[in-house]
Amino acid sequence: MIPYSVLDLAPIVSGGSASQSLANTLDLARHAEDWGYRRFWLAEHHNMPGIASSATAVVIAHVAGGTRRLRVGSGGIMLPNHSPLVIAEQFGTLESLYPGRIDLGLGRAPGTDQVTARALRRDVNAAGEHFPDDVIELQSLLGPAEPGQFIHAVPGVGTNVPLWILGSSLYGAQLAALLGLPYSFASHFAPDALLPALATYREHFTPSAQADKPYAMPALQVVAADSDREARRLFTSTQQAFANMQRNARGPLPPPIDDIETYWTPAEKDRASHMLTYAVVGSPDTVGNGLRQFIELTAADEVMIAGQIYDHSARLRSFEIVAEAMNGL
């Protein structure tokens, strides 16, 4: 058995509210802790009516404060949107409040559309180019104070919050290898570079103070239910959401429908299905087999499970089935 973790987007469902979404996120985290999940990560997205985790550090505090042992972190903070000092202070504060339980996953994308990205930062293009330097600066701000250092993150300095690099291409894999950091690949929506990125990361990994060997945690979508038919119906919420992205019609997570073929065009189906290449949908047996195949394919050190499900009780049951399957591998 390898460790298994949750990636939660704090989904706002059609007819629901951000308040209910955040309450559901904490409820899922508490159950995940009881079911043996190692981490519970939240993602930074902006101007998206279906995602309630835009103030990611605040939601991390909400979840960490309501759990006991679970590692809670970001999957991820989109660092080009922020000053490294501000993130060091935020996560230094989190680490001070919840010692030994905070992870800081970092991404290079804006986590939104280009118009909103410009509202978040003045120079969209230059911000991404500075990502490696920003990661190094952030790492130094969270590390021990150096002689003559003028700027300190307080709280933050000396907390050594563990950093992760997140990515969906070879770029993140190369940076994680160069810096000797653990690496998580976003194969739950970007499948194409999964295997080349993992190979690049492992081949070029340089040991660091944080990690002496590569540690890879790829993500995949899982929708589990007590029958294959029920799981496939629940999965139509995700399929609709991926079709809506192509229509530039993002919104709350829609309820499941009986026949997804009546919803999307052939072109939308092809694109969405490709993005969801690494999705495991089905009964406990189907999910167990799918997880086993994914772990064998990737040689994962840990797996990160995403699952957008409209009904909260069905979402809880899905993550419970995953935990049972992982414990049975």
The rounded average pLDDT for each run of 10 residues, N- to C-terminus, in the chain (329 residues) is 96 97 98 98 92 96 98 94 94 98 90 62 65 95 92 96 96 97 96 97 97 98 98 98 93 97 97 97 98 98 97 98 95
The amino acid present at 95, given as its one-letter code, is E
Number of domains forming the structure of the chain: 2
The domain boundary, picked from 136, 161, 186, lies at 161
Q: Please indicate, yes or no, if residue 169 is contained in any of the structural domains.
A: no
* Cα separation, 196 vs 217, whole angstroms: 14
Angle at the Cα of 50 from the Cα atoms of 315 and 236, rounded to 5 degrees: 50
Q: Please indicate, yes or no, if residue 146 is contained in any of the structural domains.
A: yes
Q: Please indicate, yes or no, if residue 81 is contained in any of the structural domains.
A: yes
Of 195, 197, 201, 203, whose CA–CA distance to 278 is shortest? 195
Q: Please indicate, yes or no, if residue 207 is contained in any of the structural domains.
A: no
Specify whether the CB–CB gap between 107 and 77 falls below 8 A: yes
Determine the structural domain holding residue 284 and report its residue range: 222-301+309-329
221: which strand partners? 279, 306
**What is the pLDDT, as a whole number, of residue 149?**
87
* Same domain (yes/no): 157, 227: no
* Same domain (yes/no): 245, 122: no
* Same domain (yes/no): 142, 6: yes
The domain boundary, picked from 142, 161, 180, lies at 161
* Same domain (yes/no): 156, 226: no
- The CATH number linked to 23 is 3.20.20.30
The domain boundary, picked from 161, 196, 214, lies at 161
Residue 133 is encoded by which pair of tokens?
């330097």
Beta strands in 160-271 (DSSP E): 163-167, 183-185, 219-224
The amino acid present at 76, given as its one-letter code, is G
Chain centroid offset of residue 306 CA: 7
Q: How many CB atoms lie within 10 A of CB 214?
A: 22
* Same domain (yes/no): 140, 233: no
Distances in Å between the alpha carbon of 245 and those of 189, 190, 236, 248, 269? 12, 14, 14, 5, 12
* Cα separation, 211 vs 206, whole angstroms: 9
* Same domain (yes/no): 3, 142: yes
Q: Specify the pTM.
A: 0.95
* Same domain (yes/no): 32, 155: yes
What single string gives the DSSP state of each residue in 61-115?
HHHHHT-SS-EEEEEEEEGGGS-HHHHHHHHHHHHHHSTT-EEEEEESS-SS-HH
Sheet holding 39-42, edge to edge: 183-185, 163-167, 102-107, 71-78, 39-42, 4-8, 303-306, 219-224, 279-282
Q: Please indicate, yes or no, if residue 260 is contained in any of the structural domains.
A: yes
**What is the pLDDT, as a whole number, of residue 36?**
98
Phi, psi for 276 (deg, rounded to 5): -100, 30
Q: Please indicate, yes or no, if residue 255 is contained in any of the structural domains.
A: yes
* Same domain (yes/no): 11, 155: yes
Q: Please indicate, yes or no, if residue 286 is contained in any of the structural domains.
A: yes
Q: Please indicate, yes or no, if residue 96 is contained in any of the structural domains.
A: yes
* Same domain (yes/no): 45, 152: yes
Chain centroid offset of residue 104 CA: 11
